[in-house]
Structure 1
Amino acid sequence: MVNLAIFDYGAGNIFSLKNSLEQAGASVDVITSFDKSNIYSGLLLPGVGNFDPAIQSINENSKTKFHDYVKEDTPVLGICLGMEMFFEKSEEGVEKGFNVIDGEIVVLPSTMKVPHMGWNNLEIKKSGTILEGVDDGSWVYFVHSYRAKPKSDDVITAESDYGVKVPAVVEKNNFFGTQFHPEKSGDVGKIMIQNFLNVCKK
């Protein structure tokens, strides 16, 4: 069985994510610091909360730094806010992100209703680990006010088009991010969750 950890920023209910992982066959612990030994096959940064409080929750509650905890061998799935924390910084706050992907997080354009909530389809740009078995044009569920702006498009495996292209899935090394919520995206989301579990089994 795959043993996973969800980091709880203390910002909201992460039950649906935990439930989705358990339904896929994983054992899941909810953690609030990185100070105990990393015994996990994978880590999830959930999509609940705001940028600065989430970063502060991780930095202030843990003597062990995020990068020291995950290193290069722990797969990390960042969902929405969790994905945004992979980048250097965000217009939502002043804290530094984890800087595992070059670029920043910017607010969605004023031409859109913000926050953007609802189903949008994926435009798959290239093959990716999380997207294995997912069809181009598949629909997933978004709830967000910000979007990623990577310095290189190489990390983007799928986009969504709202009149502006929004990176929907990013991958770099052991870091996998979705701007949408796979745990709320039905059968398509289940495929992605299973793909992440498969990475964690290796």
Structure 2
Amino acid sequence: MITGFLSLLCLGLCLGSEEEKNNEHLPKPSLSASPSTAAEPGSNVTLKCQSHFQNVTFMLGKWQDSGYRQEQSSAGPQAEFLLTGLAPPDSGSYFCAYKRVGSQVWSEKSGPLQLVVADYHDGHRALSRKKATRIIFVTTVSCMSILLLFLSVFFIYRCSQHDPSHEENQPFQISQEGYGLKESQEVTRAELNAMAPSEAASVPAEEAPDLGDMQS
């Protein structure tokens, strides 16, 4: 009896050691997201865990939350975990693992998969920054356009003015003409002064006979 008990004990230990040995060599699964790892609030995302064996139990976990756990048995080599009505708190790094039927030993964890659920507040702030940048750009372009227009008008106005050399010569010509007019006026005055004594001398000579006739 003792011999039979020892034989059963040795057989159980051997089977346990063999199972643990097989479980230690379970390759790690892969985890992917569909349609994308970036989701909007309220949308759905499917996380697919892929193993190399069939008839296994899959487990989905979250690195930041040790209490998060989903399990699903599958007859095939993969399992799909549907996440519905996503919200910003659902963002995080996910992983999956699997174990064979009747075993309590899980395989190695898959590589981390980062799921990002957009936040409306962050989107609103990003939109505000984008709008402010656009306003600054439009204002800068408008100011530069107005400055260029002002410079163009000023340049055209300057080019439309008369030639400076013509303006400088015009006063000189006027002064020359004025000087010539003054000279002619002075010459006329001198001629009048010269003619005045001769006219005065001729007047008594003509009036003398009239006086003699009056006396006779």
Question: Structure 2 length normalisation: TM-score?
Answer: 0.17
Q: Considering fraction of residues, name the structure with more helix.
A: 2
Please tell me whether Structure 1 or Structure 2 has the larger radius of gyration of its CA atoms: 2
Q: Considering fraction of residues, name the structure with more strand.
A: 1
